[in-house]
Amino acid sequence: MFNVAHLFSPAGNVYKQDKLHITPYERACWDIQPGESIKIFETPLAGIAGNFPKTPSYLLNYSQSAILTPSDFAFSMEATAALADPNSETAVIADMDLNALAHQREFGSVRLFRDHRPDLYELRSKMPIKIVMVE
């Protein structure tokens, strides 16, 4: 069994990315297996916000910026430290409790540093990254 993210394009196409970093809970309770490929989805639907007057094709862009936290008990239920107003040019600032983050990394139910996949990548990918053109 895999945990899979789906991307649905305006043209009706469906693209998939298997989750690579399986949590201890997913592994123990559901026997979820990690995916084996990394994909980058090239899409004309860019996630940037604001005005780029020197780039005509990107004159106005709509998005929402956020500072995300681990989705675990030491942090907010929404896993969000700060959220910008939608479609606004702004900086997002938040105070982070570094002790809570250190505790999360050691004892949390999702431990990204312990459960990461060094067999797939270090600072750069150890395997080819598939670039998927979204239509």
- pLDDT, one tens digit for every residue, the chain (135 residues): 899 988 888 788 999 999 988 888 888 999 999 998 889 888 876 756 666 666 666 666 677 788 888 888 778 888 899 998 887 777 788 888 888 888 888 888 877 667 777 888 776 777 788 888 887
Secondary structure (3-state) at 94: coil
Q: Which residues contact 99 (CB under 8 A, 6 or more apart)?
A: none
> How many structural domains does the chain have?
1
pLDDT of residue 59: 64
Q: Which range of residues forms the domain containing residue 80? A: 4-133
pLDDT of residue 4: 93
pLDDT of residue 133: 83
pLDDT of residue 48: 60
Q: Which residues contact 103 (CB under 8 A, 6 or more apart)?
A: 74
Q: Is 87 left (phi over 0), alpha (psi -120 to 50) or beta?
A: left
